A and B are shown apart, each in its own frame.
Chain A
Amino acid sequence: MSVQTPVYFDYAATCPVDQRVVDKMLPFFTKAFGNSASRTHAFGWEAEEAVENAREEIAKTIGGDPKEVTWTSGATESNNLAIKGVAEYLAEKGNHIITVNTEHKAVLDTCKFLERRGVDVTYLEVDKGGLITPQQVADAITDKTVLVSVMHGNNETGVVMPLAEIGKVCREHKVLFHTDATQTFGKIPIDVEAMNIDLMSISAHKIYGPKGVGALYVRRRKPRVRLAAQIHGGGHERGNRSGTLAVQNIAGFGEAARIAREDMAEDMKRIGELRDYMKSELTGSIEHVILNGHPEHMLPGHLNLSFAYIEGESLLMALKDVALSSGSACTSASLEPSYVLRAMGLNDELAHSSLRMTIGRMTTKDEIDFVVGLLRTHVARLREMSPLWEMVQEGIDLDSIQWAHH
């Protein structure tokens, strides 16, 4: 087995850029360096052509029109623009937004910001599998609701929401529907028509494109969605988002989307099989492993597991040749364990014990075998060192103990 370390198991965080994408980008740094807004010369026209070709690739991948694609700096900006832009534009019509408690911070913190400015926000609660139901959305809609924002695939767990059903509810109630599709765009099929999506945030670097570029899909017809711009200036992007376009990044994003679209079926199958193999290897050989996610509605590349009675960061330390992340408090500045896992009803202890492993296009079976081997060894070693494991072996119910919280 030949494995080059460190091994990368954090594809949900970011990806290496595909060489074909790099090749597409390079001319725009030096030769074709024009400003796509320059209408008076060939340098500008060439840049504009690249930008428009990329726009078409994005549109094709989601079943939308190129005119419905607004370039941004990334999905965080797209989320901010969608939510703040709608809230501001429709402020006269209503001041209520519905979202979910497992959303990315780019959505949750934007909603918190709006709450301080008088907007009412309903945070729907997910079930144990990380899902909300369309009925929950329907029940939360009032005559003041202007926007529903539900992420497509969860970044921590890979749970995929029933977008089409939620979109249908929103359309029936004539409420705009935004989705943060950062984790799913280019990985699983998305159709803005079939799913009744009005706004959608996407990013390049999760699909082997460059960091620093993303897009917001903004529906133009039935209904026409209008936004209040959040960045003002030269009126680029139909006034939705001013600022000189990052032409080389956009060209790369378009190429990454093209490749993702063409390889999607094959990638989904291969990556999904590898993930399933990893899951069965781990859960089959290590006891007290809990799957944090949904048994069916999952992205192909995500595997989030809690190894009970071991703290996640200590496990990460043992896996120093593997790049992955943990829901443990100790890996974040906040000292709180993952709010996503807690929202799914996981107790703090198991949230502290979680590892997120995300694989992608370059992952090999050898790499999986390598990580599985390390986990088997170190989970056993750390459990030998764990007082909780010892108590459980002695038949003590950990919940019966009066712990001294500090």
Chain B
Amino acid sequence: MAYSEKVIEHYDNPRNVGSLNKGDDDVGTGIVGAPACGDVMKLQIKVEDGVIKDAKFKTYGCGSAIASSSLVTEWVKGMSIEEAGSIKNSQIAEELALPPVKIHCSVLAEDAIKAAIKDYQEKNGQADGQAQ
């Protein structure tokens, strides 16, 4: 399978690989996917005054899944929670020029950021403040 240059670039130089302390109140953690399906994404955000100050990821999956999560961590830094929650998988797929069989990787990245926001909000007593 031929990969787009952007996927290869993110795969070779992934941004923000790592972990934040999931026990911290200002950290939201989202883990989506399943090993049996061939992809698991862990995406974490560190929030200050409603703004995402830092983001980290770890991904088990194909090159497109790694690139999708790398790209999302780059995007969400500096975004408000609302902005980050409104990122659509189609934007990710478009930016990385993902072929149809890899669209699910961008869906997973969107789910991961939403899950991280939800976790942060639940920790901080904002359980009903939904992510968009």
| A interface list, Cβ under 8 A from B | 309-311, 313-314, 317, 328-331, 333, 335, 337, 347-349, 352, 384-390, 398, 403-406
Say which size band chain B's interface belongs to: 20 to 34
A314 contacts B58, C-beta separation under 8 Å? no
| A370 CA to B20 CA, complexed, in Å | 35
A335 contacts B101, C-beta separation under 8 Å? yes
Nearest CB of chain B from residue A26's CB, rounded to whole Å:
34
Interchain residue pairs with CB less than 8 A apart (28): A311-B61, A311-B65, A313-B38, A317-B3, A329-B37, A330-B62, A331-B1, A333-B101, A335-B101, A349-B36, A352-B35, A352-B36, A384-B17, A385-B14, A385-B17, A386-B58, A386-B60, A387-B59, A388-B60, A390-B19, A390-B42, A390-B58, A403-B40, A404-B33, A404-B34, A405-B36, A405-B37, A406-B37
| A388 CA to B65 CA, complexed, in Å | 14
B35 contacts A349, C-beta separation under 8 Å? yes
Q: Can you list the 5 inter-chain pairs with the closest CB atoms, starting with the nearest? A: A403-B34, A348-B36, A387-B42, A349-B35, A313-B62
B113 interface residue, CB < 8 Å from A? no
Give 19 new A-B contacts, CB below 8 A, not counting A331-B1, A406-B107.
Answer: A313-B38, A317-B63, A328-B62, A330-B1, A330-B38, A330-B62, A333-B101, A335-B101, A348-B38, A386-B59, A386-B60, A387-B31, A387-B58, A387-B59, A388-B35, A388-B60, A404-B33, A406-B34, A406-B37
| B interface list, Cβ under 8 A from A | 1, 3, 8, 11, 14, 17, 19, 31-42, 58-63, 65-66, 101, 104, 107-108, 111
> Which among B33, B58, B111 is the interface contact of A403 at CB below 8 angstroms?
B33
| A201 CA to B35 CA, complexed, in Å | 37
Residues of chain A within 8 A (CB-CB) of B38 are: 311, 313, 328-330, 337, 348-349, 352
Residues of chain B within 8 A (CB-CB) of A310 are: 60
| A406 CA to B66 CA, complexed, in Å | 17
A314 contacts B62, C-beta separation under 8 Å? yes
> Which among A328, A330, A390, A406 is the interface contact of B33 at CB below 8 angstroms?
A406
| A310 CA to B34 CA, complexed, in Å | 13
Which has the most chain B C-beta neighbours within 10 Å: A329, A330, A347?
A: A330
A311 contacts B42, C-beta separation under 8 Å? no
Nearest CB of chain A from residue B59's CB, rounded to whole Å:
6
Residues of chain A within 8 A (CB-CB) of B62 are: 311, 313-314, 317, 328, 330
Residues of chain B within 8 A (CB-CB) of A337 are: 38
Which has the most chain A C-beta neighbours within 10 Å: B17, B32, B38, B61?
A: B38
| A405 CA to B42 CA, complexed, in Å | 15
- Given A311-B62, A314-B66, A390-B19, A398 contacting B35 (CB threshold 8 A): yes
Nearest CB of chain A from residue B107's CB, rounded to whole Å:
8
Nearest CB of chain B from residue A215's CB, rounded to whole Å:
33
Residues of chain B within 8 A (CB-CB) of A347 are: 36
Residues of chain A within 8 A (CB-CB) of B39 are: 311
> Which among B3, B37, B41 is the interface contact of A387 at CB below 8 angstroms?
B41
> Which among A309, A331, A335, A348 is the interface contact of B60 at CB below 8 angstroms?
A309
| A349 CA to B35 CA, complexed, in Å | 5
| A406 CA to B8 CA, complexed, in Å | 25
Residues of chain B within 8 A (CB-CB) of A398 are: 35
| A328 CA to B39 CA, complexed, in Å | 11
Nearest CB of chain B from residue A151's CB, rounded to whole Å:
27
> Which among B32, B58, B63, B66 is the interface contact of A404 at CB below 8 angstroms?
B32
A313 contacts B63, C-beta separation under 8 Å? yes
Residues of chain A within 8 A (CB-CB) of B19 are: 390
Nearest CB of chain B from residue A182's CB, rounded to whole Å:
25
Residues of chain A within 8 A (CB-CB) of B1 are: 313, 330-331
| A309 CA to B38 CA, complexed, in Å | 10
Chain B residue at minimum C-beta to C-beta distance from A388: B60
| A384 CA to B18 CA, complexed, in Å | 8
